[in-house]
Structure 1
Amino acid sequence: MYKLYCRSFQQVMKVSAAFLPWRVPELITGENSVADLPGLIAKRGIDTVLIITDQGIIATGLMEGLLEGLQREKIRYAIYDRTVPNPTIDQIEEALQLYHESGASGIIAFGGGSPIDCAKGVGARVARPTKSIPNMKGILKVRGQMPPLFAVPTTSGTGSEATLACVVSNSKTHEKYAMMDPVLIPHVAVLDPVLTVNLPKHITATTGMDALTHAVEAYIGKSATKQTRQWSIEAVKLIYENLYEAYLNGDNLRARDNMQKAAYLAGMAFTRAYVGNIHAIAHTLSGFYNVPHGLANAVIMPHVLEHYGKAIHEPLANLADAAGVSNAFDTTEQKAVAFIQSIKTLNEKMAIPSTIDCIVERDIPMMVKRALQEANPLYPVPKIFGKKDMEGIIRRIVR
């Protein structure tokens, strides 16, 4: 009966999704395209913005060109640079206070998924000033008028520049959860490959595998549509053709550009078709131990896909064709197995470990509980996991 309830809930969500007011971000793309953003902001009549970023971005000087452009356009700005991986509710509240103090009427998110999530959180609080972040947890709880949000990703993984999700952490309870509402989709996304050139290898690797996880889970889930499947296929093809090259040769702008496109397409796919059990476990790991999200996804993905078994052989075979790893195989099962093996191989080639070394035995029961709460009934997964399934996966990744 529980599985029937989950499937019924998921079917209602799939039907409802067709009627949601999806926003497609206006795209600014190409080398040094971030230079075009200040002019666009000025044309929208915005004279003050809050920039949300992190101290690593500040230290690299990546924002200097943007700041000069804002000054030329006579756009005032304030900078909140205290975002950390897995942004917390407290950080969102700090940034919100600066937003109001500065008199901002727009937000620029500059960085990886964490600054973009923090910016979405601030936007949600502006839209619904009487509601706290915990009160907006879940689906369609924001529903207000967001200030203009301009997303400038400096990694190629989260796809946050295209999604309706804002993932936040509660530093007191170690819980990590999402707010999901179409109003959280950024109004503008800047895909400038130059901003990703100096990414450390391990960040290139794990964020790239994050994008792959998004594409895979969107494709194999039961809420996939013809359009989301096509976005996922295109993303997988781009990732397999460009991720390892970007990892080896960080200054290859073509590879960097294609990885940004892949992350964006995967984001478009999963924001409409959802993710699954891989993400449910990964979010739990991040909440408990602050494990970087992309790393968690990369480690967990092959284990979950193997556990699904025959339920996903056909879609994985299609992804194997897109990835170019199926030529030596004839059957659907062989292709599916080859695709999972290709994930393991890619992880190994990019020095991504196969296990996580920080998991504490006494935490596992609560981790299982939270992963199940996130996954069920919302995620339209190929196979609904129970307690034994979740615990088995978590124990497999313990180092």
Structure 2
Amino acid sequence: MISESMRNTVRAKGLGALMKGAGLITRFIPIPQPTLLVGPGSSARLGQAVAGFGHRKILIVTDSIISKLGLLKDLTDALNAGGAQFVVFDEITPDAPIPLIQKGIDFFHEHDCDAIVAFGGGSSMDASKAIAVAVSNPKPLNQLAGYLKGLRAPVKIYAVPTTAGTGSEVTVAAVISDPVTHKKLVIVDPRMVPKMAALDPTLMTGLPPHITAATGIDALTHAIEAFVGNWTTSYSDGMALSAVSLIFENLRTAYTDGQNLAAREKMSLASTYAGFAFTRANVGYVHAIAHQFGGLYHTPHGLANAIMLPYVLKYSHPAIVDRLALLAVAAKVGTENEDTDTLAQKFLDAVDQLNRDLGIPTTLAALREADIPKLAVAACHEAHTGYPVPRYMSQQQCEDLIRKALPPKEPSSTKADKAAASAPKRTSAKKSQKPAKN
């Protein structure tokens, strides 16, 4: 009789060999890199450049908050000065749902556009990429999910990120949500990489601290998962280590002092470097689980990654000690003369401490025990069919890992006390009377 542990071992070896083989193939897929404009005012410089490219009409894809805050002004002023025609679609919402993307596709056609500027956070970037692919390949968006499902090249995209987290301005993927199935869908096509991107820190100074924190850990997750997986290259390693170093040096400052342009600029570079790293080396279980949280509970992607990163790292620890040690040195939480076991533990502790300093919760308030089995099934399927994870887990192990993020149960005595406190007070029908004075 084959034991469950032996069965898992055999299965893991088979999956590992398959993913390593796929990794060898992906090394030869050409991935374009955008021209990067970096620093204060770079969004205006991008507008000047795009205005000179002779597009018929440009679609700017963003959200209503960015539009109302006037963050588009430098870009649009530059486009106007260069005589470029443009229209603004500012209806993007978190998770980029399919019906909204379809609305953007219709808007693109209605205004006879021929290029897109993605302006905003990850949702605006992903929506722009999905629109660009679907415009060139008119078929249902869920049929475009997967690798290279569009025969024709997407329309040209330019990018102006307003958060330092997703790295989507340099990546080959777009994550969209299907509100019918409550699942995230991933469209992958190297031709979706923007032609040019502006990393303008002035657009990020107004980000609330909690968004700065979650998006910053999102970038850290990209870098770490790219570095510890089985598709690494010398290029992806260099980008990942640079990103980790920049994040540990600057994220706390960006969180506590949002107006610090130097920290904001370095965080935007870190996000881009991490994007370069995982575009080539891919991600792992943190993302596989986070995508399920986003699909079912609409948890912001950065927050979901931030919650799960410590748990997945601790699970993967036995298989990645050497890599964790290198990350510790890059993060400057240890030195090269220390032994690898010590350095690895220091990095795990440093990630925990960074999350605490940034106010990242250790649990997901929306998570329900009854949902965990289906979340684990979906996460394992995503990871085992697409990600070069360093240490495989069974469905049961995945369930146990997700269970760590369950919010603590409220003691029954506390519930009873709360119920009693909220119950209407009863008053006596008879009022006490004092003896009458003579």
* Pairwise same-fold verdict (TM > 0.5): yes
Alignment partner, residue 45 of structure 1: 54
1:54 has 2:63 as partner: yes
Residue 259 of structure 1: aligned partner: 267
| Equivalent residue letter for 1:124 | V
Query: Which residue matches 2:359?
Result: 351
Question: Taking CA–CA contacts closer than 8 Å with sequence separation of 6 or more, which of the two structures ends up with the larger relative contact order?
Answer: 1
Distance in 1, matches of 2:51 and 2:354, equals 43
- Structure 1 residue 325, shift from structure 2 partner: 0.6
In 1, the alpha carbon distance for the partners of 2:307 and 2:47 equals: 39
Letter in 2 for 1:77: F
Gap regions ≥5 residues in structure 2: 1-9, 408-438
* Aligned partners of 1:49 and 1:77 also within 8 Å: yes
Matched letter for residue 288 of structure 2: A
Counterpart selection for 1:94 from 94, 103, 106: 103
CA distance in 2, matches of 1:393, 1:51: 41
Distance 1:249 1:353 in 2: 21
- Given candidates 317, 323, 329, the residue that maps to 1:309 is 317
Post-superposition shift, 1:384?
A: 1.4
Correspondences of 1:266-345 after superposition (within 5 Å): 266-327=274-335, 330-345=338-353
Instruction: Kindly report which structure 2 residues correspond to 1:126-145, keeping only aligned pairs within 5 A, or say none.
Output: 126-129=135-138, 131-145=139-153
Letter in 1 for 2:68: A
Does the CA-based 8 Å contact 2:142-2:185 persist in structure 1? no
Q: CA deviation at 1:352?
A: 1.0
Contact 1:127–1:146 (8 Å) recurs in 2: yes
Read off the aligned partner of 2:406 and give its amino acid letter. V
Question: What's 2:195 paired with?
Answer: 187
Indicate the SS of the match to 1:376.
helix
> How far has the Cα of 1:268 moved from its partner?
0.3
Q: 2:17 aligns with which of 3, 8, 12?
A: 8
One-letter amino acid matched to 1:30: G
Query: Equivalent residues in 2 for 1:151-230 (5 A)?
Result: 151-230=159-238
CA distance, structure 2, for counterparts of residue 314 and residue 341 of structure 1: 16
For residues 357-376 of structure 1, the aligned pairs below 5 Å read 357-376=365-384
Q: Is the 8 A contact 1:5 1:377 kept in 2?
A: no
CA contact 1:165–1:184 (8 Å) conserved in 2: yes
Aligned with 1:75 (options 61, 69, 84): 84
Task: Give, as a single letter, the amino acid of the residue that structure 2 aligns with 1:157.
Answer: G
Q: CA deviation at 1:140?
A: 2.1
After the TM superposition, which parts of structure 1 deviate over 6 Å for at least 4 consecutive aligned residues?
none
Match of 1:233 among 221, 238, 241: 241
Mapped partners of 1:138, 1:373: distance in 2: 14
Spell out, residue by residue over 1:219-260, the C-alpha distance to the aligned partner (whole angstroms, 9 max, x if none).
Answer: 000100111000000000000111101111111111111001
Residue 143 (structure 1) shift: 4.3
1:344 Cα shift? 1.1
1:378 paired to 2:386: yes
Deviations 1:115-149 (A, max 9, x none): 000000001102211x3221121222234211110
Give CA-to-partner distance per residue, 1:40-99, whole Å, 9 cap, x none: 112221131111101111121111121222222222222111111111111111000000
Structure 1 counterpart SS, 2:210: helix
Cα RMSD after superposing both structures: 1.4
Q: Do 1:229 and 1:269's aligned partners in 2 also have CA atoms closer than 8 Å?
A: yes
Give the superposition deviation at 1:328.
Answer: 10
How high is the TM-score relative to the length of structure 1?
0.97
What is the CA–CA distance in structure 1 between the aligned matches of 2:380 and 2:68, rounded to whole Å?
39
Measure the CA separation in 2 of the matches of 1:304 and 1:165. 23
Tell me how far apart the structure 2 counterparts of residues 177 and 50 of structure 1 sit (CA, whole Å): 23
| Cα distance in 2 for residues equivalent to 1:211 and 1:339 | 16
- Summarize deviations over 1:341-361 as a string: whole Å, max 9, x none: 111111111111111111122
Return the offset for 1:4.
Answer: 3.8
The higher radius of gyration belongs to 2
Alignment check: 8 A CA contact 1:47 1:74 kept: no
- CA–CA distance in 2 between the matches of 1:331 and 1:299? 28
Whether the 8 Å CA contact 1:7–1:377 is kept in 2: the answer is: no
Q: Secondary structure at the match of 2:65?
A: helix
Aligned to 1:86, what secondary structure does the other structure show? coil
Measured after TM superposition, the shift of residue 12 of structure 1 is: 2.9
| Distance in 1 of aligned mates of 2:220 and 2:107 | 35
Q: Is the 8 A contact 2:46 2:197 kept in 1?
A: no
Contact 2:213 2:358 in 1 (8 A): yes
